[in-house]
Every structure is written in structure tokens, then in C-alpha cells.
Structure 1
Amino acid sequence: MESTAHFEPRILRGRWEDRNWRNVPGPFYAGATDEMALGRLDAPHHICYDDDHGGGFGTVFVYRQPTDEGQVFDVLCGASLDLYEGYNWDGDDHWTVEAVRAWWADRGRVRAWAVDIAADWGADTHPHWGSNNDPRFLGHYHDAAQGHRDFIAHIDDGLESYLRGYLFWLEQRREPRPGEALPRL
């Protein structure tokens, strides 16, 4: 399935108070969303789904922040599919150094959650899911499980470096110069 998304700036109306606790610290986040689990079509390296409503239903979170213009475009296109306009990109106005460090210190909780949901959604049958147990949806849930596995891999390798750079950004409001020390998490 190919995406037909396009970017509309008015879609970024998510409320910080509604953000999903799984969002990786950074400018982009998702909160109260309903994009029919289509965001990964545009941003598979950035968007994952939770299971908070049960039965294969949930909302969206940003598991990897975009780091270049093309990735930003991908996330914006994924966000454009959201019916509730629950994404936003004002995270820099809300995250603090202390909050980022607290999120990192609690990363074991989100990692354990991602391991569990990747195993569940990666299974070939879900009898307790009702109509979502239809084999037609198997590819969708396997792709979602791959997103969760990608999130786990990002937590294990790459996220710490990104977050140290993000701490620098929050403290200095600029990119670090080559060789400049980054804050510790």
C-alpha cells in the first residue's frame, strides 16, 4: 500500500499533556491520535503503535526523532494521516534536561514493553482480538512488530548518543561544534 499523505501545518495540534509516555525525547511527539495505524507507511523508521486500547488498537508514538530534512518530511507525512491532529513538534519548548535524563533512566520500562508487544504482535494468531485476528491484517501487525524491534535496537544502540546531543541542544540552543563535549545522561 502506498501513502497518499501530504503535509498540512495545521495538523500539528497535539497537546503536550496528552503525549504518549513512549515518545523519545525531542521536538516531535504524538499524543491522542487516530491515524488508523497508517503512519508507518510514511515514517517506518520513526513511528510505532501502542496497544493501549487492546485488541490490536492503540495510538502512536515517535520512537526515533528525525535528524535530517527528509526524515522530518517522513514524520510530517505520517502525522498528516492522523484524524485527531495529535502530533506536535514543539517538544523543545517542553523537554528539560532533567526530564530527558528521567526518561533515559526509565528506559528499561519502555524497552520491556516494546519486547513484549513485538512478541505479541509478531505472532501469527490473536484469537482474543476479534475481527483484528483476520489473516488479512497479519502483514500489518508483523510490520508493527518490526517497528517495535527497531525501537528496541535504537534504545540499545544510538539513542544514548542522540539524547546527549539533544541535551546539548536544550542547554545551548545550538548544535555542538566538532569535538565539543556533550552532557552526560
Structure 2
Amino acid sequence: MTYWDPIPTVRALVGRPHPLWRGDLEHDWSEPAPDGGWEGRDWRNVPGPFYTANTDNCCTGRQYAPRLVTYEDEELREFVFRQPVGAVEVQELVCAAECDPFAGYGGDGDLHWTPELVRDWWRERGGVQEWARRMGRSEWMLSDREHLRDAAVGARAYFTHLSQGLEAYLRDYMFWLAEGRPATSGDRLPVLDA
């Protein structure tokens, strides 16, 4: 796996018809989240360029980006549990951001994450693992409300991503942060458990 920078794809969408959204995309989702910004981001967001701060609680994010977004359990606010790794996933995430009336999505994470901060997040991942495990098995699974059942599915997907794929992504992302370019086959990737 080599890190793919999603920011140029986000910026290329601005001012053009969005393939999944009605009309032209006017907001540049590579900018800071306007309400809360980096400092207000949800602790469950995985490291990467995209995150959420103060989103709404209408449960629309998973309608457009179910592979990338799920909801927290206090107020059903959205957060990014998996970073996009291709143009279609960027389109999905931008669509989820467009549907959020609070505009609580941000895409300036690269300006804030450092390899050491990524390592710190990884060392503390037990909290998000426990949260995702608990929510994936919660009473939401048996709820008669579809969005709660879907939130439980999202929590289970997050739990799986934590043990299958996220470590490789984060090592590539750390290289990107340190070197400003994707790793090549001859490059040595940083370790997370340093």
C-alpha cells in the first residue's frame, strides 16, 4: 500500500457538478471544520486529512459514506473512522460533508498530524477499540430504528478496520507526513510502536 493524497481530488471538485450531489460543489472540504476546527474534533476520528468536529445528529453521513463514517453514541454525531483511499471514496466523504448542515467536516488534518501524534493515537487506540466493540454489540443492533442498527454496523466496521488495514495505512501516512511524498518500494516505512 502507498499513501494516496486525497486533497487534490477534493479541491478539483470545487465549483463543479458533484457526481453524487445535486448541483455544483461550492465548499472546499480540504479546509478546517468551521465549527470547532481541529481542536474540536471527535476523539474517535482516525488520523488522516479528514475529521469531524461539531456535526449534526441527523444520521445522514452513513447514507453517503458508509465505508468511512459512523456515529458516536452520545448525540449521534458523525466521525471519520476510515480515511478515503481513492477518488470515489473522496466523493462519498464530500457528499456526507455536504449533507451536514453544521458543516462539521474538516480536511486540514495534514497540517496538524505529525508522525509522533499518529504514534500517540495508535498507542491509545484501546479506547476506540473498546468503544467500537461495545457499540457493535449494543442494543442498537436490535433497535427498530434503522439508523441505530446502521450505526452499530458502522461501529463493527470500525472495529474491523482497527485490526485489519489501519496499521498499514498509518505507516504510509506517517511517511507522507515526514517526507512530503508517498513511499516507494525501496523506502523504509516508520513503525507505529516505536
Separation (CA, whole Å) in 1 of partners of 2:99 and 2:126:
30
Distance of 1:147 and 1:179 partners within structure 2: 36
Alignment of structure 1 residues 103-182 onto 2, 5 Å: 103-125=121-143, 135=144, 137=145, 139-182=146-189
Partners of 1:10 and 1:176 in 2: CA distance? 27
Aligned twin of 1:51? 73
**Partner Cα separation in structure 2 for residue 41 and residue 5 of structure 1:** 15
Task: State the distance in 2 between where 1:62 and 1:85 align.
Answer: 14
8 A Cα contact 2:32 2:105, kept in partner:
yes
* Matches of 1:75 and 1:97, distance apart in 2: 24
Q: TM-score, normalised by structure 1?
A: 0.85
**Structure 2: 5+ residue stretches without partners:** 1-19
* Matched length: 168
Counterparts of 1:183 and 1:8, CA distance in 2:
37
CA contact (8 A) 1:8 1:80 kept: no
Higher helix share: 1
The C-alpha deviation readout for 1:1-52, integer Å capped at 9, x for no partner, is xx85664315655100110000000000001110511111110000010012
Letter in 2 for 1:146: V
1:147-171 CA-to-partner distances (Å, cap 9, x unmatched) read 1101000001100000000000000
Structure 1 Cα separation of the partners of residues 141 and 66 of structure 2: 20
TM-score (norm 2): 0.81
SS of aligned partner of 2:156: helix
Report what 2:40 is aligned to: 18
Which secondary structure state, in structure 1, belongs to the residue aligned with residue 70 of structure 2? strand
Runs of 4+ in 1 over 3 A off after TM superposition: 3-8, 10-13
The verdict on how the C-alpha distance between 1:92 and 1:118 changes in structure 2, with shifts beyond 3 A counting, is same
RMSD value, Cα: 1.7
Mind listing any 5+ residue stretches in structure 1 that lack a counterpart?
126-134
